[in-house]
A = this chain, B = another copy of it.
Amino acid sequence: MMAAAMYTHSLQSLKVYPGGTFFSRREYCTTSLKKNTSCLVVAGIPKLRKDLFVASSEVDILLDNVKWDDKGLAVAIAQNVDTGAILMQGFVNRDALATTISSRKATFYSRSRSELWTKGETSMNFINIHDIFLDCDRDSIIYLGKPDGPTCHTGAETCYYTSVFDFLKNPQVEERKMSLTTLYSLESTISQRKAELSGPQNEKLSWTKRLLIDNKLLCSKIREEADELCRTLEENEDKSRTASEMADVLYHAMVLLALKGVKAEEVFQVLRHRFSQSGIEEKKSRSRAQ
């Protein structure tokens, strides 16, 4: 961070967004100790975190490295750092990427409105950036971040809830089925079984439902599966046995999480704060900002 070595002044203007709300639009022009000088535009960010400011000369080098298309755009995909869920996809130009780097709020370029927009500027559901990745061709970008709330303007967690294969089975039915990877698909199924328990039970209860209504059974299974996982190490069993026992531990523990109303995402957030570099950086930057 070269913030201490930079002279920063801000120009502030007001801008009307489509929703009719007023947002401040700041331009931070920086003069670093290096010769290269340029401006980063920060749009619609309630509070600018100065500790996250990056020297503009390095940003310029990076922006020069991106392979922009004939319209000066690249694809940007916002992904939840804890769950891996693809939240939304948009396009970025140089200013949008520079703004995301400096503000750490996912910012895009609207092709229809021909202007920058920061996700969350109207909904307050910002996507807080932990890291940004370029692909091997340098024309596609991942915004790896933590969303403050649902990303989709419809209120859905992500914008991807139309399954093509469901549509092909029945184009008339428009039932929402989120795009979920394996763990979250399992979480969703368990949550559904839990919800079904409040209705009439006409058939033989499924194993998941039996676990959901019997804490003693559930806890005995979790302890038993953890023990079996350990024994695959202690008794030098096959790798496939370890994978299988770990799957058992996870499934039964996920039932307990559902009973307690805890999401897998919350568990990963705990893990990130404890172990990951970005967690450490986040803590540091938070204590600096406070």
Contact = CB atoms under 8 A, between A and B. Distances in A.
A80 interface: yes
A77 to B, nearest CB: 6
Copies in the complex: 2
Contacts of A83: 84, 181
A249 B226 contact: yes
Contacts of A159: 135-137, 140
Contacts of A230: 218-219, 222-223, 256
Nearest to A82: B182
A253 B261 contact: no
Contacts of A272: 182, 185
Interface in A131-172: 131-138, 140, 142, 144, 152-154, 156, 159-165, 167-168, 171
A144 to B, nearest CB: 6
Interface string A242-254: 1110110111010
A277 B163 CA distance: 13
A247 B267 CA distance: 5
A34 to B, nearest CB: 12
A219 B230 CA distance: 5
A186 interface: yes
Contact of A132 (B133, B164, B269): B164
A277 B165 CA distance: 12
Chain A, interface SS category: helix
Interface stretch (A11-19, A41-49, A56-64, A197-205): A56-64
Given A88-B135, A133-B164, A226-B222, A249 B242 contact: no
Contact of A133 (B162, B233, B249): B162
A249 B253 contact: yes
A101 interface: yes
Contacts of A65: 167
A125 interface: no
Closest 7 A-B residue pairs measured CB to CB?
A: A84-B84, A226-B226, A132-B164, A219-B230, A133-B179, A135-B159, A247-B270
